Amino acid sequence: MHSRDIAILANSRKYGGHCIAGKDIKTGEWIRLISKLDSSGNTIPFTNSDLAKVCGNGNGPSLFSCFRINFKGKCGIYCQPENELIDGEPWQILGYIPTEQLPLLEDQIYPCWLGDPDYGKMDRIPFSDCNPQSPLSRSLLFKKLTAGEHQLEISHKETMHGRIQYVLKFYINVTLYSLVITDISVENALIKKALHEGQLSSAYVTMGVGQIYKEMNSHYKLVVGLAPLK
């Protein structure tokens, strides 16, 4: 067992629960926090009661909050190598990362699934390109995007099942992306009209690759953390 000081960079909707991820403040490593594993070794999302126990809030931690968290060990999989199992004990709150220090957490290099003219164009990665024989080296990215360089915009689309999904549109290396927003607080703000669709001047964005979506036999790229800036 060991502890890490984690800056929270994602609190995302996942199969009715939460996916929580952040960076180790000391090492800069990405860590996707795993609450439990089932008998087959598959990850189980955080429930509201899980989060109430470990961080004192059933809605989960807010972006840029920092906690000292105890871990049992790594449990990475081919599409999410950053996974690490927590021990389930309460987390120690350390404070918040000031906005002026967020650049220290930014990733400087885009992963292959963003910006690459061939591999990175789509909003998802086919299983043929991401599988146990062809694993990802990283599945998370934290970056500040700006209107001038990336043409940021929040919009929405309707799924094949008739559900509204909010998306973040942006350009990287002349490729236009339209990725579903699964950041829980932002999604709720959009539903309640506390945050409106349209162009953004800038935002800190955490993007991640989800586990296999069997209906499409693909891994979707998602906006798992979003902090619009004024």
Please report, rounded to a whole number, the percentage of residues in the chain having pLDDT higher than 70: 98
pLDDT classification of 161: cutoffs 50, 70, 90: confident
| Same-fold call for 2-101 versus 103-229 | yes
Interatomic CA distance for residues 172 and 181, integer angstroms: 17
Mean pLDDT of 195-212: 96
103-229 under CATH 2.60.40, yes or no = no
Residue 164 is given by DSSP the state E
**Rounded to 5 degrees, what angle do the CA atoms 124, 60, 73 make?**
75
Q: Which amino acid is at 139?
A: S
pTM above 0.85, yes or no: yes
Cα separation values, 38 from 34, 113, 140, Å: 11, 29, 23
- The closest alpha carbon to 4, from 42, 37, 30, belongs to 30
Residue in this structure with the two tokens 């915009």, named with its chain if needed? 153
Give 126-150 pLDDT, tens digit per residue.
Answer: 999 999 999 999 999 999 999 999 9
pLDDT, tens digit, for every residue of 76-95? Answer: 999 999 999 999 999 999 99
- Amino acid, res. 57: N
Going from N- to C-terminal start, the domains of the chain cover 2-101, 103-229
The CA-atom distances, in angstroms, between 228 and each of 64, 137, 153, 200 are: 13, 28, 11, 7
CATH topology for 2-101 is OB fold (Dihydrolipoamide Acetyltransferase, E2P) (2.40.50)
pLDDT in tens, 91-132: 999 999 999 999 999 999 999 999 877 766 789 999 999 999
Note the pLDDT of residue 9.
98
Residue 39 clears pLDDT 90, i.e. is over it: no
Q: Name which of 33, 12, 25, 107 is nearest 65 in CA terms.
A: 25
pLDDT at 119: 67
